[in-house]
Amino acid sequence: MSLRQRLMPLVAKLITSERLQQWRRAFRESRRKLQRRPHQAVFYFRIDDPYSVLMAQVLPRFARHFGITITPRVMLYLDQQMYPAADMLEELAPRDATQLARLHDLDFPHNWQLPPREVSLAATRCLLKHEGDERFWSLAAALADALWRNDHDKLEELLTEHGQMPADRAQLALEARRDQFLKDGHYLTGTLQYEGEWYWSIERLDHLAHRLNDLGLGSADWPLPYGRAKRARLKEVPEGLKGKPLVLFFSFRSPYSYLALARTYAMADHYGLNLKIRPVLPMVMRGLSVPKAKRFYILKDAAREARLHKVPFGKVCDPVGAGVERCMAIWPFAEKEGRLREWLRAAATGIWSQGINAATDNGLKFLVENAGLDWNRARRWLDDDSWRDHAEDNRNAMMAAGSWGVPSFLTENTMVWGQDRFAVIEACLLASQADDKD
């Protein structure tokens, strides 16, 4: 094992350390007080991003409740290498936003239409002109509503009334902001930055709310249950829901797949669902790049979510390459033995919280035996490459259903992306059961 491989779990443990996070927060707060700065956050808003549209509806109430100032920063152009399937995200994001809006009682048109780029640019230039105005939030809501409803008359009326930043100035500002955004360490709009940490979309505002509560700001009676989408409510089980299919597309290299496992099993067991877990190769092993800034954000965000859900996490040994392949090769053996659930838990826990190197025989043996499997029988499956065809079939099925990444969940007719959408998955399942009655 190389020095880099030996050091990786220790470095990852340091990066994801809760103690280090607390020290950083305390340092930032001390510096803020010394500089006599108010509590301020920056919101990166993009009008053709559905998650930005929802956040813009929530943040004025959030700011008032906690007594902080939120400064909007209008964006439009993004670094495309951060979005390996931008066309699929364009279709999935508004569908997802429709579900989230329903869950949080927010506004997003169910009859949405993807806005043309030139129209988004016109609306963005208008917002750039009024970025420092108190009416920014109401103007952003009105422009976004008209944009996503494809209401040209209303949009034209708003642009005529409020004007736009000149095209050349807007172009320079938007390009410079894109570049600075990446240097600052992020890539997703709909994101809030507060004192050194990033909070993407409504489902991360619970972390910031707790942080602000700890500083004595606001109260625990938040305006919205910001983390509501992350957990299923596990309601009374309708008879017609038993046996309904639920598919989880899973990757051993995805920390979010690991974080989703326990809640997936809990929901499937509670409702008596027919759960099928379909493994796919990670994006980087499918020819898709994951830039450094993105990897670091995902690691730190996953650690934050792991603490929330009380999932062990942090001492990570990246299984990319041979580690993933060997875990995939054991998959059909574990399934044949009736211990697939145990294998997934043991392997994912070992990779993401125990620093086990699945690319080595000693590491893989440890994981296999932790799953209650026989190592001597399991190791024979390492020479069988038949899992590759199944992995490719799974990838094709995932892409055909409308997703490119994991974890993704497929009910009978709805694709849901992300480990922080269990309430949405549950709502889709219950809605399908109600439709069957009709």
Q: What is the pLDDT of residues 263-289, one digit of tens each?
A: 999 999 999 999 999 999 987 765 555
Task: Flag whether pLDDT at 177 surpasses 90.
Answer: yes
pLDDT of residue 377: 98
In the predicted structure, residue 293 carries a pLDDT above the cut 80: no
Q: What are the chain's domains?
A: 38-228 (3.40.30.10), 231-437 (3.40.30.10)
pLDDT of residue 296: 84
- Other residues' Cβ atoms within 10 Å of the Cβ of residue 351: 27
pLDDT in tens, 6-24: 788 888 899 999 999 999 9
Q: What digits encode the pLDDT tens for the residues 111-166? A: 999 999 999 999 999 999 999 998 999 999 999 999 999 999 999 999 999 999 99
Is the Cβ–Cβ distance between 54 and 202 less than 8 Å?
A: yes
Residue 266 is which amino acid? A
Name the phi and psi angles at 379, rounded to 5.
Answer: -65, -25
- How far is the C-alpha of 188 from the C-alpha of 190, rounded, in Å? 7
In the DSSP assignment, the letter for residue 189 is: S
- Give me the pLDDT at residue 435, please: 62
Mean pLDDT confidence for 62-84: 88
Contacts of 344 (CB under 8 A, 6+ apart): 250, 261, 277, 334
Across 62-91, average pLDDT: 87
- Mean pLDDT to the nearest integer, 62-79: 94
Lowest mean pLDDT among 77-81, 354-358, 402-406: 77-81
- Contact yes or no for 312/345 (Cβ under 8 A): no
What is the residue-averaged pLDDT of the chain?
93
